[in-house]
Amino acid sequence: MRKPSGERQFRRVSNMKRMTPQPVSDYPDWTAELARLHDMPLRRYAYSLCRDWDLAGDAVQNTWLRFFKAQRPDVEPKIPAWLFLVCRRQVVDFLRRKGRMKTENLDDGIVGGDVAPSYSAEMSDSSRALFAEMEKLPSAQREVLRLKFQGDLSYAEIAQVTDRSVNAVGVLLHAAMASLRRNVRLNTDLTA
């Protein structure tokens, strides 16, 4: 169940009084814990979508903002997928507003894919090789991989976040893993 996209509308104070308000902001400890867990993954995820740290930062900030406004019982069962979903929407919004996307499709808006992240020397060769191979995948597959293995979302959650059917997610993941395995085997001497 997704939040309606009209969630930007404010509820008036009078409305608020009618419901039993349990805004997320009432729970600082819980919030801080979630922030600790998910802020960085969200940033990485947002960056992987738009290749721009500032935009990613903004998107994640906006995500937290919305999170704060939300009602705990509504969002709690959906964390972390909800966070990723909102974050993704933010990125899409940003990119669309900048006029970089003609359609809803995030793939159009993503900057080239030719700006690959660089990793420090501490990262192991195998991981680095994996990331390098991941860069070569289509952006849809990349995104699904990241959501699955970094965000640890289920297929259904990924389907929600990326606005696809669960079946499509399954096919994407399957194809992504197959390509990755094949390419890593071919291009490095890692066995995967």
Ranges within 150-179 binding other proteins (CB under 8 A) = 150, 154-157, 164-168, 170-175, 177-178
10 touches other proteins (CB under 8 A): yes
Q: Decide if residue 89 touches other proteins (CB under 8 A).
A: no
Contact partners, residue 59, CB within 8 Å, separation at least 6: 46, 50, 87, 90, 91, 94
74 contacts other proteins (rule: CB under 8 A): no
d(CA 54, CA 65): 16
When asked if residue 28 is in the footprint of other proteins (CB under 8 A), the reply is yes
Instruction: Provide the minimum distance between the beta carbon of 118 and other proteins in the complex, in angstroms, as a whole number.
Output: 5
87 touches 116 (CB < 8 A): no
Assess 53 for contact with other proteins (CB under 8 A): yes
Q: Is 189 in the site for other proteins (CB under 8 A)?
A: no
Q: Does 79 bind other proteins (CB under 8 A)?
A: no
Structure tokens at 24: 């997320």
CA distance 132 to 54: 23
Lookup: tokens for 128: 């680095």
Asked whether position 114 contacts other proteins by CB under 8 A, the answer is yes
